[in-house]
Amino acid sequence: MKRSKITTWLFWLIPLVFLAVFFYQPLLNIFRLVFSDRFNQGWQFFSLETLLRPLLFTLWQAFLSTVLTLVIGLPAAYLFAKFDFPGRKGLRALSLLPFILPTVVVATAFNTLLGPRGWLNLILMDLFNLSNPPLSLLNSLPGILLAHVFYNTSIVIRLVENSLTRLNPHFEEAARALGANPWRVFREVSLPLLMPSILSATLLVFLFDFTSFGVVLMLGGPQYATLEVEIYNQAMNRFNLPMASLLSIIQLAVTLLITSLQNRISTPRYGKAALSAESKTRVKAKTRLEKLYVAVSVILLLILFVAPILSLVSRSLITMEAERGERGEIETGFTLRYYTELFQNRSGSVFYANPLAAIRNSLVFSLLTMLIASALGLLSAYALAGSGRLTRFLEPLFMLPLGASAVILGLGFLISFNRAVWVGGHFPILIPIAHSLIALPFVVRTILPAIRSIPASLREAAQSMGANPWRVFREVDLPILLRAIIVSLAFSFTISLGEFGASSFLSSAQTPTIPTLIFRYISLPGALNYGQALAMSTLLLITSTAGSLLIEKIRFPGEELF
């Protein structure tokens, strides 16, 4: 018993020390900096407009993005929950991909679709013989909104579909037996039961839109700066750390409020009687209206999920501009030049960044993140599983990094740690640590349901036969947890590989990552730089897609990741 208590304390101690040093300390230092006398000089650049303008725009674009996401996501959730149609499983798996994709890939994909050199403008210019792009969706609010809808629709689909498939059918049957028409059954029975999941999905989508960084930075331009983008500009371009810290505190306060509301609302209010096992009553569309609904919904979802991805891949392989190739000839049409030029510096530019170094760095950082986040997540999940009623109060300690954006983490690390000590020459260990903090909430939410599903009788039987705690874990727990652990490893690896917010603060010219290199390429003028950004984004897309398919195939059938 004594050893069990020591083990339990270790389960708590290791992840809490990690969080205290690398999460709570940087956040505290951000607070300290705002009121520090050492940085009073930075306040001479302070203005109320600098504070209110990005805050109001952040709230406005997050509200619009959330409404549009619900308009697409709620009908899609009903489609997957109630109807069986050819390709349903494949389309449902495809719906998870946008959420897994790195923000730089999403932004680059929409650039290839809607930008001045994107397919839509190129086709219109060819059809109407125009010399200039007719549409200007890049660096605009509609471009940001479309990318956010693409990015977050999967959250609404997963959360609301899960509730729809688990609604106890006896409630609706009883209402119909009492004479209620279908609309009244939905309004007075189904909708109140679904409201917690709808509100939870709404707040979660709003949270991700509110903390959006890469999409807004690459698609919005300087005139559409959210809090995240303004924090980056103040810290990295204007070197005004006090202002960046103040903006971070405001953003953190809002995100914590949203996170606490989301956690409270997501708790079922009607007890287990309102839910049943997953429904198997999906039916094929029979009436003309149902067939039309299924057909239109599937077409819209395919356009939403597939068009940006196909646009990115095809645009990386096809050049529509007249470019001079390696031997000076004019090249158009299909080409692999964007990929081959990634590894050559023909112009001898001093600004050249080696993509092989970026790929190597990203892979090393991802492997370290995978090990750190999964190990800490496993310990945290065991600690929470053994906390009983305290879990409700202790779980936010591990979920808080979900509310603090990667940009705030990057700023906190920049303020808190001496880069000369932590970077160690050419290897910034802070990057995989920051990535591990971002991945930790997802790991905990993946492993915790699996631990709770282990029957206590199996452990008791093993202990009664003389098995020590390690052997009980190895032969009882581990086989049951294996799928959840593999999903956690894949999720951590994929998140780290495409993380951009914290990496934009912590990486350097000597240690680029794939996302920071993509941003660098796409920010430089010239068709070749643009094409190299597309090639790098496509390679990252392929890797992220593989991770997404693995997660969907072996995900533990418990709580959702969101």
Grouping H, G, I as helix, E, B as strand and the rest as coil, residue 1 is coil
User: Confidence band (pLDDT; 50, 70, 90) for 432?
Assistant: very high
**Mean pLDDT on 319-341:** 62
Rounded to whole angstroms, the Cα distance separating 63 from 41 reads: 35
Which residues, including other chains, have CB under 8 Å from residue 436's CB and lie 6 or more apart? 368, 369, 372, 373, 376, 492, 496
- Predicted confidence at residue 423, as pLDDT, reads 46
User: For 287-296, how does the pLDDT look when each residue is reduced to its tens digit (9 = 90+)?
Assistant: 899 899 999 9
Torsion over CA of 133, 134, 138 and 142, rounded to 10 degrees? -170
Give the pair of three-digit tokens for residue 157.
């689909």
Give the pair of three-digit tokens for residue 94.
């495809």
User: For 503-521, how does the pLDDT look when each residue is reduced to its tens digit (9 = 90+)?
Assistant: 888 887 778 889 998 988 8
Work out the end-to-end distance of the chain between its first and last CA atoms, rounded to an integer number of angstroms.
36
**CB count in 10 Å sphere of residue 364:** 16
User: For 155-203, how does the pLDDT look when each residue is reduced to its tens digit (9 = 90+)?
Assistant: 999 888 888 887 767 677 677 777 777 777 777 777 788 888 889 899 9
- Give the pTM: 0.83
* pLDDT greater at residue 74 or residue 552: 74
Domain ranges for the chain: 1-35+342-562, 43-268
pLDDT score of 82 more than 90: no
- Predicted confidence at residue 70, as pLDDT, reads 95
CATH superfamily placement of domain 43-268: MetI-like (1.10.3720.10)
CB 166, CB 276: distance < 8 Å = yes
pLDDT score of 531 more than 90: no
Give the pair of three-digit tokens for residue 363.
């892979």
Task: Give the 3-state secondary structure of 396-433.
Answer: HHHHHHHHCCHHHHHHHHHHHCCHHHHHCCCCCCHHHH
Q: What is the largest CA-CA distance in the chain?
A: 82
**Mean pLDDT on 254-271:** 70
pLDDT score of 266 more than 50: yes
Strand partners, 323: 331
- Predicted confidence at residue 376, as pLDDT, reads 92
What sign for the dihedral angle of Cα 198, 201, 207, 209? Answer: negative
Poorest-pLDDT segment among 25-34, 164-173, 234-243, 376-385 = 164-173
Which residues, including other chains, have CB under 8 Å from residue 478's CB and lie 6 or more apart? none
Task: Give the 3-state secondary structure of 242-260.
Answer: HHHHHHHHHHHHHHHHHHH
CATH number for 1-35+342-562: choose from 2.60.40.10, 3.40.50.300, 1.10.3720.10, 3.40.50.2000: 1.10.3720.10
Backbone angles phi, psi at 130, to 5 degrees: -100, 150
Backbone angles phi, psi at 270, to 5 degrees: -115, 10
Q: Which long-range contacts (CB under 8 A, 24 or more apart) does 3-12 make?
A: 3/469, 4/469, 7/469, 8/383, 8/386, 10/379, 11/379, 11/380, 11/382, 11/383, 11/386, 12/383
Which residues, including other chains, have CB under 8 Å from residue 187's CB and lie 6 or more apart? none
* Averaged pLDDT score across all residues of the chain: 80
